[in-house]
Structure 1
Amino acid sequence: MVLQCEKPVSVWGWANEGDEVSVTFADQKVTTSTVKDGAWSVTLKPMQSSMESRPLRIASGDQTIVIHDVMVGEIWHASGQSNMAMTVRSMSQHLDVVKTDIAAAELPMLRFCRINEAESPEPRSDLRKQAAWTVCSPETVSGFSGVAFYFAKRLQSELGIPIGIIDSSRGGTPIEPFIPRAAFGTHPTLKQELELGDRGDLEGIWKLPGGVRARDANWLPGRLFHARIAPLRRFAVRGAIWYQGESNCGVQEDPRHYQYKMRALVQGWRHALQNDALPVYFVQLPGSGAGEGWPYLREQQRLANDMPNTGMVVTVDIDGEGIHPPNKIDVGHRLALWALAKDFGKSVAFSGPMFDRQVIEGTNVILRFRHADHGLMVADKHGLSVPHETPEEELGHFELTDGVNGWQPATAKIQGNRVVVSNPDVLSPIAVRYAYSVTPENCNLYSRDGLPASPFCSRPDLLSYDPKLPE
């Protein structure tokens, strides 16, 4: 396994009441006694990262438990739904390069722990089934999350230290079951979802404006957090990566208020893991396999991107078909860029252009962006290749509105780190939106660092969504 470096490390368990327990690792030995219910906990002092394989020993009376091959490095939670759960094996069925990566995956400094617990109505203090850590090798890597593998592989190659991934994702689930109960008080919709969930009123949650189609108990508020995260809340980690949203904007599912759900997830995890600055980097939904609610949810994800110590990876430019585009290589690498820049001090570009503000000058709307200091470009990305500049092509997917006649296609031109948008038939524009469609193809606005611009609407208050709810 891997222990988190540079942070106090909790080690805990249960023994007979009144017993003495000692924990030994590296040059540290800590002794404690159990409390009334037999629980015990010790804290190891912060340690530097180390590739040295060492044993962790826990002893009480005549019993000793030894965990072998323990390294010290960086640990990240990886969670969400099926696009996070999608395995390296599944990727390899579509991408030949992944088969090559599998054969070369003798990477003993990467270790993965899969948490696969069933839902729980209350937070659990321990996992019901023993979790196992798996060392990365050509024989084991196929079962790992593809996003998490390429994220971890990039970090390990850049940092040269052990990387551990705890994967708690579950396919087909909305965000609600991963949000701690305490965080459901942060927004009226969340409060109502919690109340209805406690009454087992699945149809009520579905009909609620901004609610979700809860199919069974695995979809209810807090249920997967209780089972998969709460038992590990004392285990020190560096941060979290998150890929989810499809089940909050699918068939007859209402994407409204998702930004507040995302905020509740981040705040809830930070409180539960006792780290108010926990980095959380998340993936905006791609352009393939989309349903009618996806454009609205992408915008909701963008609006949640202003939380401190968070970052959003844009994937609307990544080729693929269906709801599970196989190119998780770029997704993992783009997540790693956020961590490398923000958590490990690397001088790398980590975000594509993010809409900042608009200025209206007559019939033109001038857009300014964050993360565009080196300028903007028109570019195409094909497959796994890096985007290449195509200055002869026009920017696509820009629309204007005057607030009266709906959204109209518009011409957009780059001027340095700005974009000027116009349409001669829209004489009094008030807003611009970009790539706001179910499956926008060839989204070609990039920073000169080669990262794509996020879909956006300069006036989110002008967007509306009317889901087809059950009668």
Structure 2
Amino acid sequence: MKHICTFTTFILILATCMADIEARPLKLHSIFTNHMVLQRDKPIMIWGWADKGANVSVKFGKETANATAIGEAGRWEVTFPARGADAIGKELTVAHGSTLIEVRDIVIGDVWVMNGQSNMAFGLGKTSQADLESAQANLPLFRCFNLKSNEQASLQSDLPADAIEGDGWTCSTPQISLTFSSIGYSFGSRLQRALQIPIGIIDTARGGASIESLVPQHKFKDHPLAAAYKSYQDSVIAEFDAEAFAEKKWKNQLAQAKSKGLPKDKWPTNGGAKSLRSWDRPDQSPAHNGSCYNGMFGVFKGLNIKGVLFHQGFNNSLRTSCRPKLYRALMKVMVEGWREDFNDPALPVGVIGFCAGGVSQTRENFEAWSISSGAYIREAQRLGLADIEDAKNTAFLPAHDIQIPGLHPVKKIDHAIRATRWALNRVYGKKINWDSATLVSVEPQGERIVLTFDKPVMPDDMSTTIEGFSIAGKDGKFYLAHAKWPMKKDHGIHNTAKKSFENKKIELWSPLVAEPIAVRYAWATSPMGNLKVNGKPWLPLHSFRTDNWDWPESDDYSKILMDRLTMKKAMKEAAERLEFRRHEEATRAVEIIDELETLGRSVSK
């Protein structure tokens, strides 16, 4: 009887195990849903999972293909030939045995990924022009796939249902559009109207994400700074005790509850490691290496896309996390990683610069507001892209001049319009106005310094006042600079017509800098700076500096060089410079006015 029971038990266990193995259902990757947009002019790969060894039949439109599920995961895939844009909805069917999956209304056009943090995720319904934009949003060929937060410690193969907004791909309507990313909607809908093909947007932005979390993990080894940072983070993870952290967190919350006099039934309980948020865990935090890429972008690699629009920066501009040199390195390897994983070495990537926020810089606070970690992050974004050496397919799109107070400015559509101009001009070859200017030379000339650009730079409002420049001598102390364009030789000194200026050159001077050697422009979080390339409002001259006085940054990632005391000291010194300039301008007003009469008169060549 004992042997019979043992044998029976064995058979039951074996049957249960076999049932588990055979129970793996036929599945399609979660990116494939009704109303999907597939990328035109590139091979179309369809993939999913089934029982190991299962024969899977796939039909897309009139074409069919077969695949065998392989490996322990039972992954299968088929690839259909590239197709041109097609606005007529097609059906995708996947079959194995008696199981059939149907996906309807798939169109073919261009697919753009929106990546970054909360200012990219910021919904259209929260913007200042939501009513006007949504009123034009009845666009059945513009579609969006929105992801929820899904940061992961390792690269995922599929998206869980709770990481997807709604049922997946959604066609634009006036009501639905309000839930789309504002930049994503405004960019994608304009592309759709201009190109007259289906356009799909995949919104992978995650509020609070640092650039570290958006870089494919395998790319950290490709740059010394990135590799060192990953090594440091790995050590932090190795030392992390989730249970101990959860208990400490609970004790702090309990102490707060008691100090507030809350009744016992309102006191928090210790939920252990399972109660921790992703923010609490160094291996899953939106600041951890690759975490957001693992669960929100790389999770659908294999899907061909047209390009990526990126908008991020805030979390890396905080005093405690600002590391511009590391950011520059990560920007480069991030884009290179995307191109590798999505099998396109020339994948177009547009980076909308770190947006302005907070109190705007003015003449009254100029020097004090110039202590800016955000300005260094903008520079790191621009230079990181430049390090890729692919100006044809990458672009830095300045955003510092669009200024609304707050961490989440509601004027997003202007950013999207600039991105659309770039994409139509450079990616699609349309005759749409978009350009950028490059600083060609910096020439110290005694008490003045002269800049030369490769294109005209001027305000878009016909003003002859140039704002946003500061200059410094060898002491590194920057002061607000007076600026003018040089006069052309064939125009009299009283001719102030716009055409009388050499608008590719700018002469700078300050009564407080005897021998200037360095220049900064638009160097603040919400900076002064009114120059536009060719005087066009949608083409702001990007912020820049000519010095190498960097933001304090340690090779030891456990240390913060710009600690509270250092920051307080820097702000105090900047405030003193501000007061000194204001005092000097008041006491030397006549002298300064006389000098300004000659500014711009002697440098034209």
Alpha-carbon displacement from aligned partner over 1:112-160 (angstroms, at most 9, x marks no partner): 1112252221111111227411111112111110011111011112111
Distance 1:356 1:25, change over 3 A: farther
1:297 correspondence with 2:377: yes
1:431 correspondence with 2:518: yes
How many Å apart are 1:428 and its aligned residue? 3.0
Report sequence identity in percent. Answer: 29
Distance 1:32 1:201, change over 3 A: closer
Among candidates 168, 173, 184, match of residue 209 of structure 2: 173
How many Å apart are 1:14 and its aligned residue? 1.0
Q: Which amino acid in the other structure matches residue 234 of structure 1? A: G
Distance 2:444 2:340 in 1: 42
Distance 1:282 1:338 in 2: 11
Of stretches 428-437 and 153-162 in structure 1, the one that deviates more from structure 2 is 428-437
Alpha-carbon displacement from aligned partner over 1:237-293 (angstroms, at most 9, x marks no partner): 011011111000124222322111211211121122222211111111122237941
Counterpart position of 2:160? 128
Counterpart position of 1:411? 482
Q: Which amino acid in the other structure matches residue 327 of structure 1? A: K
Counterpart position of 2:458? 377
The alignment partner of 1:65 has SS state of strand
Distance 1:303 1:202, change over 3 A: farther
On the 8 A contact 1:250/1:293 being kept in 2, the answer is yes
On the 8 A contact 2:400/2:525 being kept in 1, the answer is no
The alignment partner of 2:357 has SS state of coil
Q: Which amino acid in the other structure matches residue 109 of structure 1? A: L
Q: Which amino acid in the other structure matches residue 467 of structure 1? A: M
Larger Rg computed on CA atoms: 2
Counterpart position of 2:563? 468
The alignment partner of 2:337 has SS state of helix
Q: Which amino acid in the other structure matches residue 164 of structure 1? A: G
Count of matched residue positions in the alignment of Structure 1 and Structure 2: 444
How many Å apart are 1:358 and its aligned residue? 2.2
Distance 2:297 2:527 in 1: 35
How many Å apart are 1:417 and its aligned residue? 2.3
Counterpart position of 2:116? 80
How many Å apart are 1:424 and its aligned residue? 5.2
What TM-score, normalized to structure 1?
0.88
Distance 1:139 1:277 in 2: 36
On the 8 A contact 2:403/2:526 being kept in 1, the answer is no
Distance 2:452 2:99 in 1: 64
Counterpart position of 2:10? none
The structure in which a higher percent of residues are strand is 1
User: In angstroms, what is the RMSD of aligned CA positions?
Assistant: 2.4
* Structure 2 residue runs without a partner (length 5+): 1-35, 241-278, 360-370, 486-501, 553-560, 567-605
The structure in which a higher percent of residues are helix is 2
Among candidates 292, 297, 300, match of residue 224 of structure 1: 292
1:256 correspondence with 2:256: no
Distance 1:339 1:119, change over 3 A: same
Q: Which amino acid in the other structure matches residue 256 of structure 1? A: P
Among candidates 346, 352, 364, match of residue 277 of structure 1: 346
How many Å apart are 1:435 and its aligned residue? 1.1
Counterpart position of 1:194? 230
* Structure 1 residue runs without a partner (length 5+): 205-213, 380-388
Alpha-carbon displacement from aligned partner over 1:351-390 (angstroms, at most 9, x marks no partner): 34343432334444332335x3xx22223xxxxxxxxx23
Q: Which amino acid in the other structure matches residue 158 of structure 1? A: A
1:182 correspondence with 2:250: no
Counterpart position of 1:359? 443
The alignment partner of 2:297 has SS state of helix
Alpha-carbon displacement from aligned partner over 1:212-246 (angstroms, at most 9, x marks no partner): xx864322111111111222110000110111110
On the 8 A contact 2:482/2:508 being kept in 1, the answer is yes
Counterpart position of 1:384? none
Distance 1:296 1:70 in 2: 43
Of stretches 421-430 and 8-17 in structure 1, the one that deviates more from structure 2 is 421-430
Counterpart position of 2:429? 345
1:456 correspondence with 2:544: yes
On the 8 A contact 1:250/1:292 being kept in 2, the answer is no
The alignment partner of 1:177 has SS state of helix
Distance 1:288 1:433 in 2: 19
Counterpart position of 2:571? none
Q: Which amino acid in the other structure matches residue 296 of structure 1? A: Y
Alpha-carbon displacement from aligned partner over 1:5-59 (angstroms, at most 9, x marks no partner): 0111111011222222222223422222222432111111111011111212222
On the 8 A contact 2:330/2:384 being kept in 1, the answer is no
Q: Which amino acid in the other structure matches residue 420 of structure 2? A: A
What TM-score, normalized to structure 2?
0.69
Matches within 5 A, 1:111-126: 111-126=143-158
